[in-house]
């Protein structure tokens, strides 16, 4: 209840403020871990309804579908569309699901950060060809 009241106040502030804003929730995974999914679904229904009524944009970070039930995104029936993200082969890809006239195809949107082992390998590759011996003197390979 207190979260709902705070969300309603924040939505009203965004709607009546001089600047445009977006309401964002990044804690849905934690909320699902500690609250009944049915109650949380009702909360999302009310919240998204407030956003639409006040003409406020919203973003909600959802856990992957496989973390919930493997079939759909939690609460996605309330949203206009879902943007899915994945990483692989050093790339970040995204696709939009549920948006009219947009094909749900994966598109590259960036490069994935490299792991510590990849960064170490790249650092070794970038070192000059000189070899530092144990005494600290530099020699060149023959």
Integer Cα distance of 120 and 124 in angstroms: 6
Q: Is the pTM of this model over 0.85?
A: no
Cβ-in-10-Å burial (0-12, 13-18, 19+) of 100 comes to exposed
Identify the CA nearest to 60 among candidates 30, 38, 88, 35.
30
SS3 105: coil
pLDDT of residue 9: 92
pLDDT of residue 135: 43
As given in the structure block, the two tokens for residue 118 are 């990849």
The model's pLDDT over 66-118, given as tens digits with 9 standing for 90+, comes to: 554 445 677 878 888 888 888 888 899 988 888 888 888 898 998 877 655 55
Alpha carbon distance, N-terminus to C-terminus of the chain:
74
């Amino acid at each position: 209840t207190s979260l709902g009241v705070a969300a309603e106040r924040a939505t009203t502030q965004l709607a009546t403020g001089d600047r445009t804003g977006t309401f964002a929730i990044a804690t849905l995974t934690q909320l699902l871990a500690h609250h009944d999914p049915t109650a949380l679904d009702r909360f999302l229904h009310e919240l998204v309804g407030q956003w639409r009524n006040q003409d406020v944009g919203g973003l909600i970070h959802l856990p992957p579908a496989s973390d919930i039930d493997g079939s759909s995104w939690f609460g996605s029936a309330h949203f206009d569309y879902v943007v899915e993200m994945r990483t692989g082969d050093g790339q970040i890809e995204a696709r939009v699901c549920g948006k009219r006239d947009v094909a749900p195809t994966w598109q590259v949107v960036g490069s994935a950060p490299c792991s510590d082992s990849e960064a170490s390998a790249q650092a070794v590759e970038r070192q000059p060809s000189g070899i530092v011996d144990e005494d600290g003197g530099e020699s060149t390979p023959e």
